[in-house]
């Protein structure tokens, strides 16, 4: 349900941004709002508090965002609060940013490796991903995961390329178990 809500509202604000040719401007504003929300978790606590009435929450939105972000974004956040969807605001905004990346041909890759990668390795991985995908640019995220034993796992969206030693050992174990069961 939460994914459907974030998709519905996220698409609405994205379509507005495209129609008004304000994708970049709205994207910057949304990134600023997300950063502010991350740095001020007490703001979200207030906005989610059940004893604070909706009219007060709407006034808080006006006081905080009016004049700091566009009227369209302020109005959009007001709409989210009016529809009691503030709890999904961050997911909605992230959906918008993901749509912007898709529009611009930017892929997001999550790379987990057993050891820290050197800069030249990172550049080779990024170049190979650009070569083998339809993206014009890659946003790379690296993480060290020593449980992989060796190798790496690369995830782009719902696609995963797993060349980790851990996975290969698991596959070998499954093959050995099948052989053992047949004898």
**pLDDT digits 0-9 by tens, 87-120:** 999 999 999 999 999 999 999 999 999 999 999 9
The pair of structure tokens assigned to 114 is 């057993």
Contact residues for 180 (Cβ-Cβ < 8 A; gap 6+): none
pLDDT-based confidence at residue 126 (cuts at 50, 70, 90): very high
The span from the CA of 131 to the CA of 140, in Å, is 15
pLDDT band per the 50, 70, 90 thresholds, residue 177: confident
Reported pTM: 0.81
Number of helices and strands (H, E) in the chain?
A: 8, 4
Nearest residue to 156 via CA among 112, 113, 111, 109: 109
Nearest to 167 by CA among 128, 114, 129: 114
Distance between CA atoms of residues 16 and 96, nearest Å: 11
Spell out the residues 6+ positions from residue 149 whose beta carbon is closer than 8 angstroms to its own: 114, 164, 165, 166, 169
- pLDDT of residue 176 exceeding 90: no
User: What does the pLDDT read at residue 178?
Assistant: 84
């Amino acid at each position: 349900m939460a994914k459907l809500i974030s998709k519905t509202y996220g698409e609405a604000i994205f379509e507005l941004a495209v129609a008004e040719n304000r994708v970049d401007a709205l994207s910057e504003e949304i990134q600023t709002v997300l950063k502010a929300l991350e740095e001020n978790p007490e703001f979200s606590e207030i906005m989610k508090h059940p004893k604070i009435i909706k009219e007060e929450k709407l006034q808080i939105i006006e006081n905080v965002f009016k004049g700091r972000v566009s009227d369209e974004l302020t109005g959009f956040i007001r709409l989210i609060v009016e529809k009691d969807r503030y709890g999904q605001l961050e997911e909605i905004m992230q959906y918008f940013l993901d749509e912007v990346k898709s529009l611009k041909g930017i892929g997001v890759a999550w790379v987990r490796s057993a050891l820290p990668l050197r800069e030249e390795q990172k550049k080779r991985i990024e170049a190979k991903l650009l070569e083998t995908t339809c993206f014009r640019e890659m946003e790379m995220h690296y993480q060290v995961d020593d449980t992989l034993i060796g190798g790496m796992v690369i995830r782009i969206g719902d696609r995963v390329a797993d060349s980790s030693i851990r996975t290969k050992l698991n596959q070998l174990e499954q093959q050995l178990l099948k052989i053992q069961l047949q004898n």
